[in-house]
Chains A and B, each alone.
Chain A
């Protein structure tokens, strides 16, 4: 079975065609500048196995048009998908596992647009285009929130009145679930441990968004992101945790305009807001030796990760490993070292030399005598999604390396 996975951004469409059960990548690429015309033409960077990357130019006023172009490129290479998989940011409390997206399911997902107004609508538009153009292809949505459906009520409940929580679905959902799940399964496999008995803290540190996930016995029990991706760690341009009174203060000064406040908290805060220069922690680290603002930004960024790492290590109890993944987690040794150094109380000891010398992934950068391993694992959300699509269409839940099935507790909201 060939599974074509889509990861839909606001103006981009990433895709990857993966054959099952071999998991061989047959084609991959990214459509850029999807939407209204921009200064540069829309294009697709496309590559097939064993061939050079090509650039294909085409008008792509929407994601439906981009999808059509991608399908033509695949057809020209003699490739055809048997199923489509969609990375879907928010499944709310309705979708707690991968779901086949027929008309009824798409309609239900549309009802959740308020929970992810920036992310879910483009994906839904793409699903509609797929249905219209290739009605015979089965579509499966894989949700970033689904892995976190096992977070217990005392961790996902905000301390506000129940009638408001239930009326608006106000609770912690957690995000980056596909990535967290993938690296946790990989880590358990690396350590030859059954997933059902594997406990870890997964640190997904992207160049944009970032979150930590506490995993106990293979199941997510907490995530630093909350109802929205705003909560938790300091991110590139998102604020992370702030005093609720500051949000009210911003609402007052911006005359109650929620969009303006969202703009500040989502786009002008985080590393960018602290440094006043760049939103990329790699740029800031380079200046940290000489610039006080860069030093404060770096220490605040890593300190928040470190605090949540401690919090989640306390929650999971005897952890087997701490995992670092995604751009910053995989590539920035200094961040890993600042976060892990001096956490011996949790049985964690990083080997600075191993950490700095990382060249191939996955790898273990913990000292030999560290009780808890420190693993650096490359995330592969597309492969994780493709696996879940394949398994869903085979009508079985994802296998764990322990051979046990995932179990999702029903949600109370």
Chain B
């Protein structure tokens, strides 16, 4: 099946087109300035037009759409149907910036690609299985206006795919669930402990702000710091949010914009503090992961900077308790992109969520894309 993968970024719509049987995208790109200069509908039309103009002989047969925030509404990936769309609408108050755009994009897909199924990939679905002891915050839920506030984690797709690969590499050697420390090296990095297929610990929180510091986000910070800034700088929540999401993390420690990869690979003195802070926080979370599982079998790095694991892996291995095979690497880098992960999983999601009449609708669809010519 020819797959179009769509990923909504804060101000852009990224895409990749994967023809049947292909692991790498035949075409990929990004439409910038969505929401400001370009409507979602126009962005999708541009994407379809670009695929078409690239002498691509294949029609889009299915769509995979990345959904960053959906709380604990969905425990697995699914296909957009009227009832699913209604469920997504109920989440708009909790993700007011993200969910309306997702809904608009689903609608545009149904107009531009009628009859083609749209599979929804939820970042938070994987972590709906976290135990209560891990996801609970010790705050009176009444103070937070609702009991739905909990720790979710934000790179479920990477963690899920990377641990699947790690389990496969461990093979049948274990007669118990594999214990995997999953380190996702994205601009918001995240560490998870996954026992078998079940997540048991996660560094991310109710939002991606909690946990490890990111390229521009603060990571863990004492609430007292925020209250002091509010009091002394006379900053409101908006300004504090701007500080914590845009001006903190590596950019604050390095004094200039810098990626996680640059920081971790750097030997420069001006990046030393940023590097040590990030490494140290990852070590702390890895230690937590070990405590959550009583040990580990493998560390797996994923995300766009997964290759950095080649440096971070030996560093961590040296510091964590030995697994009994100290002269062998106990870490792996899983370097597949998010788009590829979704493309690979798309058929499976469609099989698991059959929608009646899909084939019939496909046969009757008006087509904006050229059919392949023989």
Contact = CB atoms under 8 A, between A and B. Distances in A.
A161 B273 CA distance: 13
Q: Which of B220, B229, B231, B250 has the most CB of A within 10 A?
A: B220
Interface in B296-342: 296, 319-321
A343 B139 contact: no
Interface stretch (B79-87, B105-113, B278-286): B278-286
Interface string B228-258: 1111110011001101100111101101000
Contacts of B236: 251, 256
B291 interface: yes
A244 B244 contact: yes
Nearest to A318: B321
B101 interface: no
B222 A231 contact: yes
Nearest to A339: B291
Given A159-B249, A296-B136, A300-B133, A345 B227 contact: no
A246 B149 contact: yes
A346 interface: yes
A159 B214 CA distance: 9
B227 A247 contact: yes
B207 interface: yes
Interface stretch (A95-103, A135-143, A270-278): A270-278
Contacts of A159: 213, 218-219, 221, 248-250, 252-253, 277
Given A159-B213, A343-B294, A270 B221 contact: no
Interface in B99-153: 131-134, 136-140, 143-145, 149, 151
Given A154-B277, A311-B291, A346-B290, A243 B205 contact: yes
Contacts of B220: 231, 241
B288 A247 contact: no
A154 B280 contact: yes
Nearest to A301: B138
Contacts of A346: 290-291, 321
B294 A344 contact: yes
Contacts of B243: 160-161, 164
Contacts of B288: 307-308, 310-311
B287 A243 contact: no
Contacts of A241: 210, 220
Q: Which of B201, B226, B244, B279 has the most CB of A within 10 A?
A: B226
A250 B209 CA distance: 15
Interface string B173-216: 00000000000000000000000000001000111011001000
Nearest to A276: B140
Contacts of A198: none
A157 B209 contact: no
A240 interface: yes
A249 B237 CA distance: 8
B224 A228 contact: yes
Contacts, number: 227
Contacts of B138: 234, 239-240, 242, 269-271, 273-274, 300-301
Given A250-B144, A303-B134, A310 B292 contact: yes
Contacts of B144: 246, 249-250
B295 interface: yes
Contacts of A310: 287-292
Nearest to B255: A162
B46 interface: no
B209 A243 contact: yes
B233 to A, nearest CB: 8
Contact of A248 (B151, B237, B296): B237
A273 B284 contact: no
B62 to A, nearest CB: 35
Given A157-B273, A226-B224, A231-B223, A239 B137 contact: yes
Contact of B230 (A230, A258, A314): A258
Contacts of B213: 159
A237 B328 CA distance: 46
Contacts of B224: 226-228, 230-231
A251 B240 contact: yes
A274 B247 CA distance: 33
Interface in A271-296: 271-274, 276, 296
Given A309-B291, A313-B287, A256 B218 contact: no
Nearest to B211: A243
Interface in A130-166: 153-155, 157-162, 164
A262 interface: yes
B290 A345 contact: yes
Interface string A201-241: 00000000000000000000000001110110010000111
Contacts of A309: 291
Nearest to B322: A345
Nearest to A226: B222
B232 A300 contact: no
A345 B294 contact: yes
A231 B34 CA distance: 39
Contact of A153 (B223, B226, B273): B273
Nearest to A249: B144
B363 interface: no
B139 A246 contact: yes
A268 B143 CA distance: 9
Given A248-B241, A345-B290, A307 B201 contact: yes
Interface of B: 131-134, 136-140, 143-145, 149, 151, 201, 205-207, 209-210, 213, 218-233, 236-237, 240-241, 243-244, 247-250, 252-253, 255, 273, 276-277, 279-280, 283-292, 294-296, 319-321
Give 4 nearest A-B pairs by CB, closest first: A310-B291, A314-B287, A228-B224, A345-B295
Given A162-B252, A296-B132, 17 more contacts: A114-B232, A154-B279, A157-B277, A230-B224, A241-B210, A244-B223, A246-B144, A248-B237, A251-B227, A261-B223, A264-B140, A300-B138, A310-B290, A310-B291, A314-B283, A315-B287, A345-B296
Interface of A: 114, 153-155, 157-162, 164, 168, 170, 172, 226-228, 230-231, 234, 239-253, 256, 258, 261-262, 264-265, 268-274, 276, 296, 299-303, 306-315, 317, 342-347
